[in-house]
Amino acid sequence: MEIILENIGRRFNQDWIFKGIDYQFIRNKSYAILGANGSGKSTLLQIIISSLSPSRGHILYQNENKEIDVDHFFSYVSLAAPYVELVEEFTLTELIDFHFSFKKLATGLDTQGVIDLLELQQAANKEIRYFSSGMKQRTKLALACCADTPTLFLDEPTSNLDTKGIAWYHQLVERFGANRLLVICSNQLHEYEFCNFHLQMETYK
């Protein structure tokens, strides 16, 4: 899997958030998109996964040397981000089953395996709306990481996680981030310190 950015830029009204990004993301590598709050990290991520169009430039998606149509790229993507909403009327079990009716589970996992991974066995039949913010964040991360997709995108992955949750995040990424194209948006070192490459948003102002 490769994602190639060619002269990517995005503006709101007449103000450029960023411009002139030429970059290549390659499978089996990990990337950190870095910058201060408001620097455009999340906007760039949404452009990369084709949920937002660039104001300038072109993106090429390739898998095994075959070009992927932008309208089909969503099936290659797993995403966890603060702006991704969970269906709060579902129980945890129902949410996992629903999510993986659209995405294939990683090899060796089933619904109970995901619940065990989350360490939320006592909450299996609890509605998501009664979860704490930390429990919801762990659920978002597990749904993304446990999907069998060649790309994994994580935006501010340790939001609402305590020290124990951050350690759990590191174990999760170590287990499920390998052999994928991993992209993390962050401004906190503990979220991305293991990444191979860094893309600094300030470079493209």
φ, ψ (nearest 5 deg) of residue 71: -70, -15
b/e code 146-177 from CB counts within 10 Å (16+ = b): bbebebbbbbbbbbebeeebeebbbebbeebb
The whole-number pLDDT of residue 14 equals 87
Can you give the pTM of this predicted structure? 0.95
List residues bridging with 18 in a β-sheet: 10
Q: Going from the first residue of the chain to its last (205 residues), give the mean pLDDT of each consecutive group of 10, the final group possibly shorter.
A: 97 94 96 95 97 96 92 94 96 98 96 98 98 98 98 97 97 95 97 97 95
The whole-number pLDDT of residue 65 equals 85
Give ∠ CA 86-87-89 in degrees, rounded to 5: 135
Structure tokens belonging to residue 77:
């993507």
Domains of the chain: 2-204 (3.40.50.300)
Q: Give residue-wise pLDDT tens across range 78-107.
A: 999 999 999 999 999 999 999 999 999 999
The whole-number pLDDT of residue 64 equals 85
pLDDT above 70 covers what percent of the chain?
100
Q: What is the DSSP letter of 85?
A: P
Q: Quote the CA–CA distance of 197 and 205 in Å, as a whole number.
A: 19
The whole-number pLDDT of residue 161 equals 97
Average pLDDT, the chain: 96
